[in-house]
Structure 1
Amino acid sequence: MLNETIVEHDLYLFHQGNLRYSYQLLGAHPHEENGEEGYRFAVWAPNAEQVSVVGDFNNWDGTSHRLKKLNENGIWYGFIPEITEGTVYKYEILTPHGHLRLKADPYGFSSELRPNTASVTYPLNQYSWNDEQWMDRRKNINIYESPISIYELHLGSWKNIETEVYYNYREYADMVIPYVKELGYSHIELLPITEHPFDRSWGYQTTGYFAATSRYGTPDDFRYFVDQCHQNGIGVILDWVPAHFCKDEHGLRRFDGEALYEYQDPIKAEKPQWGTLTFDFGRNEVQSFLISNAIYWLKEFHLDGLRVDAVASMLYLDFGKEDGQWELNEYGGRENLEAVAFIKKLNEAIFEEVPNILMMAEESTSWPQVSSPTYLGGLGFNYKWNMGWMNDMLKYIEMDPIHRKHYHHLITFSFFYAFSENFILPISHDEVVHGKKSLLNKMPGDYWQKFANLRAFLAYMYAHPGKKLLMMGTEFGQFDEWKDLEDLDWELLDYEAHASALDYVKQLHQLYNDMPALWELDHDEQGFFWIDPNNYEQSIVSFARNSRNDGDQLIIVCNFTPEVYHGYKVGVPKEGHYKEIFNSDATHFGGSGQTNGLALETVNEPWQGQDQHVAMTIPPLAVSFLKRTCSPKEENE
């Protein structure tokens, strides 16, 4: 007979892969039984001969608190009255081969501070939220037609006390949120904060999928961080890793003595590139585990989205593998059909349970319809990272300007597919680490030119269709690449060029947030048209961005060489006066001051396919934003 707290229908759904809240069934939960308060434990271990809960409370003696097997599918259950919040525990599992294994709880809500590896009992529902206004607003906002600019953040290396000694989530809230809010970002994206044993994996090799890492405090400390972000108008996105998990002995690997969370076939299970194991996406209980985990972070922590890591490694059987390390699927292809089906099922569940959030795929191939709904044949995400744009632009911007004319296509090609997906334009941690250099230090030229190139690149990025993401440190021109064991080089802000770079990013965000043309039609071809994509000789491009309001139109002119041009003709669609509302070469940004201070009056002569044109100064290594202010008739009125 099942215990009253374990509902038979939930067990059925779990084993069918359809229990979306399996964390309420499994794991350790406060419970009262026969008038005694304690914790109930439930764990899935179908191959185990015996399962016990062990910890300091019973001197790690596996004979003291053995669990009972509830069904033939391997759910083990037990109630321990003396357990209280903060109790350290593991499962002692007797495998079919007669070995004893000590495992952390796959559904553990908290963990010991590394290098210790046990789970810690922690109640789910004791935090009092104060973000009702944000959550109500989120229900109704159109995220596709809103400004989204994301600050990618690794807490431990944003600022720390000393190497591998960190502040608390609450202290980070007090430091990070005013800074991000002042800069004008809409969201923070956290590198994985799920529990992980090795600092230098940055959280991408996880052991505790339901535990916010104890490096920075308790789960409720993390809830406070999210709560404070919301109260200050900042969304929070979590980098989430369902593609693979690490092999540490206390983790999911061969959890009950057999392959359970990973594929039984080692060819499918092994990810040799990373030394990790692939989840068995075809196993129902693993589907319940992963889908519940995504919902857990979105529901229990009020997160506003997930950035799903390494989607390509899920989709393709041969990802990161040599010949002989993978096998064709049943149809002779290289697609992981089970992973494809799982991803669709995941996204369908997410948007049914938590509407209007961000599900962003880090997908680096040309897989079609990543951000299309599943009912249209898509994978069901609502955003995809534009890795093609990122690779092309970084290759282009690292070149000496004298060579850029030979690679002009790199700054124009992305517009051919800009509306094929809902794109995020990312400059992420992966691009500023492992010898790739910081974004500023990728730039060619002398000290001045490096900063000018940085300003031009960022202005072009914010003018390009698609939402935005920048790795921390980019905003003030970090010279060194990201150092994951040290904090950012905040002392650079004592230098004028870096302080000006920070102010530039702030002003660029203000422009971005204030101008609907830069985001309202990001995913609609009506939001963009070329004026001149072909001037490769001078490495100049010009285009327009539109909103639903015709009066919001912006003309953007980008010059990727250090040459200055006076009287340069730019086609514009309407007669009138055009004002330069932003110029990345302005002196207060550290530029040379080649700006267009006076309104530019149109000349009634067709140019570059437009009915009118203006003659303007083109600043060096810079981007100009023009906005029509009035027509001659309107001015006279």
Structure 2
Amino acid sequence: MRGKFLKINLEKEINQFIQGKNYYSYKFMGAHLAEENGVMGYRFTLWAPRCKSISVVGDFNNWDGTLNTMVKVHEGGIWSIFIEGLEPGEIYKYEITHKDGKKVLKADPYGFYSEKRPNTASILVDSCTYPWGDGRWIGKRRRSDILNGPVNIYELHLGSFIKESENGFLNYKEIGQAIINHVKLMGYTHIEIMPITEYPLDDSWGYQVTGYFSPTSRYGTIEDLKWFIDHCHRSNIGIILDWVPGHFCKDQHGLFMFDGAQQYEYDDFKMYNNPGWGTANFNLSKTEVRNFLISSAIYWIKEFHFDGIRIDAVSNMVYLDFGKGPGQWLPNEDGGNVNYGGKEFLRLLNEELHNLNEGIITIAEESTALAYVTSKEEQEGLGFDLKWNMGWMNDTLKYVELQEEDKKFNHNLMNFSMMYAYYEKFMLAISHDEVVYGKKSLFNKMPGDRWQKFAALRCYLTFMYCHPGKKTLFMGSEFGQFSEWYFKGGLDFHLMDMDEGHKNTLSFTKELNNLYKGEEALWKLDFDPKGFKWIDPDNNQQRVLSFIRYGDKMEDTLIIVCNFAPITYYDFKIGVPYNCCYKEVFNSDEKRFGGAGEIMAEVLFSVKDYIHGMEQSITIKVPPLGAVILKVNN
């Protein structure tokens, strides 16, 4: 049975596109099944303003560019043709003739599916309707306030979560079911998948894209991906897409010099050249490019039901000199380094995505101190929901890698983040970038012997989960994988069968996830200063940090004590906010987690004893390289 086919006013859609007001351009650009004059076929529409001519070529016409020549239907550079009799599954490209007569074959920028690499042609699809079963999830998502709820994201790379062979890939359904089982067992709220927009080189991990509307064929079909997302939702798991709208690769079949000149990229070499990544920067000031990118984001949300988008390399879009040296960039009209067009694009992108009223979330990977990233009201605000807290990540990882004696002189690395914690709505992220290219796995960042590494990992994760901000953790860290991430191999899940340390760490992370979701104080007031208070941020001699997380009610209150020294502290006195009882609800040093078992089973009663600026105190036991969470117990 045929699916939907093209039924639109093409002239109206094209005019809106040229004016920069068509954010659903995927509905008519590219190749669409259509019925015209009673005949079925495909309508091809393409934007290429500076070329001489264009033809559609493929196996169906023996790649002969003289047979199916497109007609220029708008002076803004829109070309179109209807080819009758074509069937889904046909491969095709555009043969583009430049002004100088040179002919180049290009994949469709709006292609919905692509050949598996190393082949590069686009593939005709029948836009059949997938039988979604996630209506309850979508309705709940639209009604929810995600920023006032728990967000605990498991970041993963589809090709290396599990691996059957060195060069093979599992299908979206096969790998998807394994991911769903693991994530559901572990208690994460969301997964974030590294880019699956079609890309030519495995080594780029998906961050150098050729198909902004095409899910990579490495893992199967469009329907297979929709099945995966649908079944994530049926299992109450959200799914976020990692998306790269700042730059694109220079492979010949892609967007680079598409019509023989700078079409998608900036005109000036110093503006479009991205020397650090060997890519070309999008011209984010051009209306047609904005149409293209915003339409791509909307496409993934509307057609694939993604719950949010994490935008990669925001700094590259905002700063003209990002990743460039002297003489490699051009200043703006005011002589500065801010890309005004890039900032305007990001504001427009966030506005349009939130206008969908789908309850989705946008996340910025922004690595500088740029202000107002998550602000919607300020004139400079970009309108994101969350910003990765790169400062927190860099500081805390630097601290935990220090040897024992050096930690006391760098204690500020662990407490400094609270000086700016409420400037933005932050997400704490330990991502793939921190466990690759010789940086070591999260486990092996921890100094000391094997026991100390596991203990320090548990303490660090507890500190992370209790610190204000939403959470993202890269795959493998949840069970203390020894080796750093390698995209050609799978995770070392077999370690759980060989080593109690990894099995215990997996159990620890599972319980930490569930504790996080169940305790409102750990997420309800993430972005409100009322939700946090230091008890003692400055105990550098003992390497201990203690603080309070508040909820809406007194009985939600949590006391957190994190000890980054391999020493047990007995009779450790801390100030507490209320004259009441306190009960230990979590201890990273429990024997079942692989710890020493320095726990407190008894209820603790506060006494009137002024310390740490509070009238009441309790005396506790603090485990070595361990974290303790106490809760008001009335």
* Superposition deviation, residue 155 in structure 1: 0.6
In the alignment, which residue of structure 2 is the partner of 1:161?
164
Mapping 1:445-456, distance limit 5 Å: 445-456=448-459
In the alignment, which residue of structure 2 is the partner of 1:399?
402
Identify which of 541, 545, 550 aligns with 1:546.
550
Does the aligned pair in 2 maintain the 1:305–1:358 contact within 8 Å?
A: yes
Structure 2: how far apart are the matches of 1:383 and 1:508? 22
In the alignment, which residue of structure 2 is the partner of 1:231?
234
1:604 corresponds to 2:608: yes
CA RMSD of aligned residues (A): 1.1
In the alignment, which residue of structure 1 is the partner of 2:539?
535
Does the aligned pair in 1 maintain the 2:583–2:604 contact within 8 Å?
A: yes
Does the aligned pair in 2 maintain the 1:402–1:561 contact within 8 Å?
A: no
Does the aligned pair in 1 maintain the 2:554–2:632 contact within 8 Å?
A: no
Structure 2: how far apart are the matches of 1:566 and 1:49? 81
Identify which of 621, 625, 633 aligns with 1:621.
625
Residue 558 of structure 2 aligns with an amino acid whose one-letter code is L
1:573 corresponds to 2:577: yes
Unaligned runs of 5+ in 1: 631-637
In the alignment, which residue of structure 2 is the partner of 1:370?
373
1:72 corresponds to 2:84: no
In the alignment, which residue of structure 2 is the partner of 1:513?
517
In the alignment, which residue of structure 1 is the partner of 2:254?
251
Structure 1: how far apart are the matches of 2:453 and 2:611? 33
Which moves more between the two structures, 445-454 or 61-70?
A: 61-70
1:503 corresponds to 2:507: yes
Mapping 1:241-320, distance limit 5 Å: 241-320=244-323
Does the aligned pair in 1 maintain the 2:107–2:121 contact within 8 Å?
A: yes
Does the aligned pair in 2 maintain the 1:315–1:340 contact within 8 Å?
A: yes
In the alignment, which residue of structure 2 is the partner of 1:115?
118
Residue 143 of structure 1 aligns with an amino acid whose one-letter code is I
Which moves more between the two structures, 44-53 or 496-505?
A: 44-53
Mapping 1:92-491, distance limit 5 Å: 92-373=95-376, 376-491=379-494
* Superposition deviation, residue 63 in structure 1: 1.1
* Superposition deviation, residue 126 in structure 1: 2.1
Paired residue secondary structure (1:558): strand
Structure 2: how far apart are the matches of 1:626 and 1:46? 65
Does the aligned pair in 2 maintain the 1:18–1:287 contact within 8 Å?
A: no
* Superposition deviation, residue 357 in structure 1: 1.1
* Superposition deviation, residue 81 in structure 1: 1.2
Structure 2: how far apart are the matches of 1:361 and 1:572? 36
Structure 1: how far apart are the matches of 2:55 and 2:584? 71
Structure 2: how far apart are the matches of 1:238 and 1:5? 29
Residue 400 of structure 1 aligns with an amino acid whose one-letter code is Q
Structure 1: how far apart are the matches of 2:441 and 2:377? 38
In the alignment, which residue of structure 1 is the partner of 2:559?
555
Which moves more between the two structures, 373-382 or 495-504?
A: 373-382
* Superposition deviation, residue 608 in structure 1: 1.0
* Superposition deviation, residue 314 in structure 1: 0.8
User: What are the Cα deviations for residues 469-517 of structure 1, in whole angstroms up to 9, with x where unaligned?
Assistant: 0000001111000011011111111110000010000000111011000
Structure 2: how far apart are the matches of 1:242 and 1:179? 30
Paired residue secondary structure (2:74): coil
User: What are the Cα deviations for residues 342-389 of structure 1, in whole angstroms up to 9, with x where unaligned?
Assistant: 111111111112442111000000110101115553111111000000
Paired residue secondary structure (1:236): strand
* Superposition deviation, residue 337 in structure 1: 1.1
* Superposition deviation, residue 213 in structure 1: 0.1
Paired residue secondary structure (1:360): strand
Does the aligned pair in 1 maintain the 2:194–2:241 contact within 8 Å?
A: yes
Aligned identity (percent) is 51
Structure 1: how far apart are the matches of 2:414 and 2:8? 59
Does the aligned pair in 1 maintain the 2:560–2:629 contact within 8 Å?
A: yes
Residue 615 of structure 2 aligns with an amino acid whose one-letter code is D
Structure-2 change in CA distance of 1:354 and 1:101 (3 Å): farther
Which moves more between the two structures, 201-210 or 401-410?
A: 401-410
1:19 corresponds to 2:22: yes
Residue 415 of structure 1 aligns with an amino acid whose one-letter code is M
Paired residue secondary structure (2:208): coil
Structure 2: how far apart are the matches of 1:456 and 1:64? 67
Structure-2 change in CA distance of 1:140 and 1:247 (3 Å): same
* Superposition deviation, residue 575 in structure 1: 1.5
Residue 575 of structure 1 aligns with an amino acid whose one-letter code is N
* Superposition deviation, residue 548 in structure 1: 1.3
Structure 2: how far apart are the matches of 1:199 and 1:83? 31
Residue 237 of structure 2 aligns with an amino acid whose one-letter code is I
User: What are the Cα deviations for residues 584-625 of structure 1, in whole angstroms up to 9, with x where unaligned?
Assistant: 011110001111111111112121111111111011111100
In the comparison of the two structures, how many residue pairs are matched?
Answer: 628
* Superposition deviation, residue 419 in structure 1: 1.1
* Superposition deviation, residue 6 in structure 1: 4.3
Q: TM-score, normalised by structure 2?
A: 0.98
Paired residue secondary structure (1:70): strand
Does the aligned pair in 2 maintain the 1:26–1:107 contact within 8 Å?
A: yes
Structure 1: how far apart are the matches of 2:582 and 2:237? 34
Paired residue secondary structure (2:409): helix
* Superposition deviation, residue 107 in structure 1: 0.1
Structure 2: how far apart are the matches of 1:595 and 1:308? 42
Paired residue secondary structure (1:39): strand
* Superposition deviation, residue 116 in structure 1: 0.2
Does the aligned pair in 1 maintain the 2:309–2:363 contact within 8 Å?
A: yes
User: What are the Cα deviations for residues 288-316 of structure 1, in whole angstroms up to 9, with x where unaligned?
Assistant: 00010010111110000000000001111
User: What are the Cα deviations for residues 271-298 of structure 1, in whole angstroms up to 9, with x where unaligned?
Assistant: 0011000001111100100010010111
Structure-2 change in CA distance of 1:609 and 1:374 (3 Å): closer
User: What are the Cα deviations for residues 206-236 of structure 1, in whole angstroms up to 9, with x where unaligned?
Assistant: 0011000000001111011100000000000
Identify which of 10, 14, 35 aligns with 1:7.
10
Structure-2 change in CA distance of 1:553 and 1:4 (3 Å): closer
Structure 2: how far apart are the matches of 1:502 and 1:591? 13
1:594 corresponds to 2:598: yes
* Superposition deviation, residue 7 in structure 1: 3.0
Does the aligned pair in 2 maintain the 1:298–1:354 contact within 8 Å?
A: no
* Superposition deviation, residue 64 in structure 1: 1.2
* Superposition deviation, residue 82 in structure 1: 1.5
Residue 544 of structure 1 aligns with an amino acid whose one-letter code is I
Does the aligned pair in 1 maintain the 2:7–2:34 contact within 8 Å?
A: no
Residue 453 of structure 1 aligns with an amino acid whose one-letter code is A
